[in-house]
Amino acid sequence: MVTQGGARKEVMKLERVGEIRIIENFKSEILQNERNIGIYLPPSYHLNTGMYPVLYMHDGQHVFGEDRVGSSWMVDKMVDALIEAELMKEIIVVAVDCISDQRGNEYFHHMDSEGNIGELYEEFLVSELKPFIDRSFRTLSGRLDTAIMGSSAGGLVSYHIGFRRHDIFGNIGLMSPYFIGTGISSGTDSTYDLPEKRLYQDVSFHPETKIWVDIGGAEGLILVRHVRKVVEELLAMGFRASVDMMYLCDPEATHEQTEWARRIRSPLIYFFGTIGTPISVAVTGPDTVGISGPTCQVNPIATYDSGFQMSLLDVSYTIDNPDMVQVAPNGTMTAFKVGTTIVRFEWNGFQGAKTIRIIPDVPFTVDVSIRVLVPETTPPDARVYAGVELDKVGQGVYGRTVRLPYNASFDFKISRSFFIREYSQHRRRFTADHTQQLEFVVDDWEILR
């Protein structure tokens, strides 16, 4: 059944706004399940007979609205604003709801895990949903006018579907993609390591495709280096930075819908609009580099007059003391000598500088001990999470010492499951930049559904 939500009267004080329709209980014969599909129709849809590009988005229940589990991307409001400002074409947005207890299977292609049905979800999109959308609405159905986008596991499934079905999708949006999974394994001295498991399949060809990739610097175990590795693989395949692949590392961003709502402007403009003219470049990245230790990069971020942002991956750098450190055009730093120097860059007429301190060694990991005190209402068999799962170590006490990647930043609420978390307006945050002991007190729990 299709219900019509009607044009919204006040959205960011815009004169023209789109319309949202909900297709309720859309049945998939391939997946043998039903879900709601949200459709955004642009302001002029009922005023002419034109055809429109289409963006397909996963986790559709958060694309236009919010629920108690998560907030909204507010994609309709951003599209309205960009259209009003004449920064992008009018498009149709198709928001595909996930089924919460099946999301983990549908968003993962088979790889080596039983139960993953990403291939079937892919076939549902390509053979059932897209033909229905093309029959029911005035779409530009060619690959260059069709985009797919998602975040986290939705980014992973967008990567796989986008490359596997590049005949259908000419634009791929990967926001905070979940490329590498981590699981806790026992280490030494009651310390737990976090082994990593690759979740994405190899891609060995370069289709005529535009790719957007982004990541936040405070996304816990979804690490910048995981995403950056895939970016480097795409560049090695022949994708061109700032041409058919755009990348953004937002150093303070966390892994949540409000951040994706804030960043959605850039991929929308990249796929469907006009990027405009650069107006500034801000230099981010680590202040300290080790002669020995993990690879790190300078991260210059360009901002355009359209509001579009991207990290620069091809920059000319000079160093005041070149015997101390070298910086490749992609920002990767290689240190040779202890001391302090200034790294300077020039790009498109913009200049900037960053002071870098070189030390002998930066660790790959640090040990972080976490202790959580829970309320008396907590069931005795509850599982408690504080960025990672904790052990029950006493009555009302949970804890664990974990060996975490150096400089990984965590921003979270303590939880008992995906739907039960601490009742608090504030989130917890820490960075694994040194060995430390953390203690948190949970006053009460709230149920999100």
What is the arrangement of strands in the sheet containing 350-361, beginning at the earlier edge strand? 288-292, 350-361, 339-347, 316-319
Task: Quote the distance between the C-alpha of residue 430 and its chain's center.
Answer: 20
CATH fold match for the domains 2-274 and 365-447:
no
pLDDT(12) > 50: no
Q: Between 377 and 182, where is the model more confident?
A: 377
The domain made up of 282-361 has a fold known as Immunoglobulin-like (2.60.40)
What average pLDDT does this structure show over 343-358?
95
The CA distance from 192 to 183, in Å, is: 10
pLDDT(421) > 50: yes
Of 447, 446, 365, give the one whose Cα is nearest residue 187.
365
CATH 3.40.50.1820 assigned to domain 2-274? The reply is yes
Residue 67: which pLDDT band, with cuts at 50, 70 and 90? low
Both tokens assigned to 374:
């829970």
Residue 334: which pLDDT band, with cuts at 50, 70 and 90? very high
pLDDT(190) > 90: no
Amino acid at 168: I
Rounded to 5 degrees, φ, ψ at 62 are -110, 0
pLDDT(418) > 80: no
For the entire predicted model, the pTM comes to 0.92
What average pLDDT does this structure show over 191-198?
87
Contact 243, 203 (CB under 8 A): no
pLDDT(387) > 80: yes
CB-based burial, 413-449: b 16+ in 10 Å, e otherwise: bbbbeeebbbeeeeebebbbbeeeeeebebeebeeee
Task: Quote the distance between the C-alpha of residue 140 and its chain's center.
Answer: 27
What average pLDDT does this structure show over 402-416?
93
pLDDT(154) > 80: yes
- Identify the pLDDT of residue 143: 97
Q: Which helix (H) or strand (E) holds 160?
A: helix 153-164
pLDDT(271) > 50: yes
Average pLDDT, the chain: 92
- Identify the pLDDT of residue 111: 66
Residue 66: which pLDDT band, with cuts at 50, 70 and 90? confident
Q: By three-state DSSP, how is residue 246 classified? A: strand
Quick count: other Cβ atoms within 10 Å of Cβ 125?
Answer: 23
Provide the phi-psi class of 64: left if phi over 0, else alpha when psi is between -120 and 50, else beta. alpha
Distances (CA, A) of 289 to 35, 250, 324: 49, 19, 11
Q: Between 257 and 16, where is the model more confident?
A: 257
The CA distance from 46 to 383, in Å, is: 52
What average pLDDT does this structure show over 30-42?
97
Both tokens assigned to 30:
């391939």
The CA distance from 348 to 300, in Å, is: 12
Give residue-wise pLDDT tens across range 300-320: 999 999 999 999 999 999 999
Contact 31, 48 (CB under 8 A): no
Distances (CA, A) of 409 to 175, 355, 368, 371, 390: 18, 22, 12, 17, 18
- Identify the pLDDT of residue 448: 79
User: What is the domain partition of the chain in residue ranges?
Assistant: 2-274, 282-361, 365-447
Residue 113: which pLDDT band, with cuts at 50, 70 and 90? low
Residue 15: which pLDDT band, with cuts at 50, 70 and 90? low
Write the CATH number of the domain with boundaries 365-447: 2.60.40
The CA distance from 26 to 39, in Å, is: 12
- Identify the pLDDT of residue 171: 98
- Identify the pLDDT of residue 377: 94
